Structure 1
Amino acid sequence: MKDMNIDAKAAAFRELHKPGEPFVIPNPWDAGSARIMEGLGFKALATTSSGFAMTLGRKDYGVTKDEALTHGAEIADAVELPVNADLENGFGLKPEDAADTIARACETGLAGGSIEDSTGDKQSPVIEDDALAIARLEAAAGAGKNSGRDFVLTARAEAFLYGVGELDKVIARLNAFADAGADVLYAPGLPDMDAVRAVCAGVSKPVNILILGKLAEHAVAEFADAGAARLSIGGGLAWNAYGTLGAATEMLNEGRFDMLSANRDGAKKIASFLKA
């Protein structure tokens, strides 16, 4: 871990969450990208489950709890910034699964982490049972409080991300998560700014917004007006970075190498932001 102790990092992370004054939290996928984002001047970072899975040659949700926690710790130790971890659904659907995941995250240099209400089942992707969803979040919050250190817990309601979202129900679940101990609320996949405004106005805790789909057409100032506190991009940067591997198809299919120069020049420029 770098200069700041973990409680100071967590306190700094908590303080960043001000509704109507959103900060952008990018999602590095390894220590190198984390250090570059730190050098660029961001105030906090977050891991990405899909971006990390790609580094292992796997699809999203294809990593284990041990791998995700080790990865989060490596990112946190690489920078001086607060780091939030994407901890998926706590790697199990029982309350004790969520509690164990947060308890173990609290043993690392992570400033916070998220628990989502997804099931990992394509046929029924979101936990339908309100009592179970709330019990899981309550167990996660309890584990954080019992850790003896500060830890910023984000609760995610995933319905919109899977195309089954109903705004009133999602807002109700987010408020239940807040009552259960969540510090930050998150409903990824919101379809438009009207939904963003409704969520931000309808809940009692700071809201993280995932910049995805049509929301990418809006600027930070618009999310501020809507009441957002945090803006994240998930695996967006990781997927863009891996997209440059398209140059390999030109080598294979066309026998051309000109894309290498453009990508190398861009890499050199961004590497200049690495801290010594």
Structure 2
Amino acid sequence: MTGPHAAAGLAEAFRALHHGRAPEDPLVLPGPWDAASARVFAEAGFPALATPSAGVAASLGYEDGHTPADEMFAAVARIVRAVDVPVSADLEGGYGLPPKELAERVLDAGVAGVNLEDGEAGALRDAAAHADWLAEFRAAAGDALFLNARVDTYVRGVPDPEETVRRARLYVAAGADGVYPLMAPPQLLPALRAEVDVPLNAFAVPDGPPPAGLGRLGASRVTYGPDLQRRATRALRDIARALRDGRHIG
């Protein structure tokens, strides 16, 4: 599926996947880090995927937050080309690109959605200024993307529910289709759901509620960040040790 019309169709299909879901059935989006892992998840039957910037960075040999923009866009485009399902891309804070240029590059990559965060250099961006930036991005991209606005209060040392809600509302007013309060405690999800009238993205952690539980708390979609890539790396380390030690790995 290629070309602008195909990309627009995938974006429309991706947006629809967020709505009309039962509470116990949130949209679960595995995070592929390269074309091969994307194909595995698509072949397993997932209706859409969401790349994690940290997982893609690791696959390219970079620390999280240090991937050059050109390499990130190229990697995302390869993932998009590898599967027929919609792909959302985590593009961190937009790599310092002006909103119009960022929108053009995102659309050229063929993604159906994008995560854009409000954290920068270990701190939070000014919320009003970030909302204006998102509004410019939204105007440039039109409706051809699902814009998921990440709220980084809980990962930038501001664990304040009221500030999280304030930022989420500003970003929704700017045109965000969904909000993603990364690392917000699960018990906060019902309050966020009540205050923000767009799909809510929850981050699944190994010792936290499963997707169905997060859905019942108010999440419309569930993502895993780089956790799946890291699990795959641990499994590969075990295989490497077995090979080094001369053990059978069949």
Question: Aligned match of 1:131 in 121, 128, 133?
Answer: 128
Contact 2:53–2:90 (Cα < 8 Å) also in 1: yes
Q: Aligned-residue CA RMSD in angstroms?
A: 2.2
Equivalent runs, 1:1-276 vs 2, <5 Å? 1=1, 5-18=6-19, 20=23, 21-92=25-96, 97-119=98-120, 121-122=121-122, 125-127=123-125, 129-145=126-142, 150-191=144-185, 193-212=186-205, 214-215=207-208, 218-247=209-238, 250=241, 256-258=245-247, 261=249, 265=250
Contact 1:159 1:166 in 2 (8 A): yes
- Secondary structure of 1:106's match? helix
Deviates more, 1:174-183 or 1:20-29: 20-29
TM-score by length of 1: 0.82
What's the CA shift for 1:214?
A: 4.3
> Aligned pair in 2 of structure 1 residues 2, 104: CA closer, same or farther (>3 Å)?
closer
Q: How big is the shift at 1:136?
A: 1.6
Mark the CA change 1:2 to 1:79 in structure 2 (over 3 Å): closer, same or farther. farther
Aligned residues: 246
From the superposition, tell whether residues 15 and 179 of structure 1 become closer, same or farther in structure 2 (CA, over 3 Å).
Answer: same
Amino acid at match of 2:221: R
Counterpart Cα distance in 2 of 1:247 and 1:226? 36
Q: Percent identity?
A: 32
| 1:247 CA displacement | 3.0
Instruction: Answer with 1 or 2: which has the greater Rg.
Output: 1
- CA distance, structure 1, for counterparts of residue 144 and residue 131 of structure 2: 21
Q: Is the 8 A contact 1:99 1:143 kept in 2?
A: yes
* Alpha-carbon separation, structure 2, partners of 1:17 and 1:212: 21
Please give the alpha-carbon distance, in whole angstroms, between the structure 2 residues aligned to 1:140 and 1:52.
23
Q: Separation in 1 of the partners of 2:115 and 2:56?
A: 15
Shift of 1:213: 5.8
Cα 1:171–1:214 shift into 2, 3 Å: farther
Within 2, Cα distance between the matches of 1:56 and 1:172?
36
Q: Which structure 2 segments of 5+ residues have no match? A: none
- The 1-side partners of 2:53 and 2:119 are apart by 13
Distance in 1 between the 2:132 and 2:191 partners?
A: 25
Query: 2:205 is aligned with what amino acid?
Result: L
Separation in 1, partners of 2:137, 2:111: 15
SS at match of 2:98: helix
Structure (1/2) with the larger helix percentage = 1
Distance 2:161 2:106 in 1: 31
Q: Would the aligned equivalents of 2:29 and 2:46 in 1 still touch at CA under 8 Å?
A: yes
Query: Is the CA contact 2:119–2:156 (under 8 Å) kept in the aligned structure 1?
Result: no
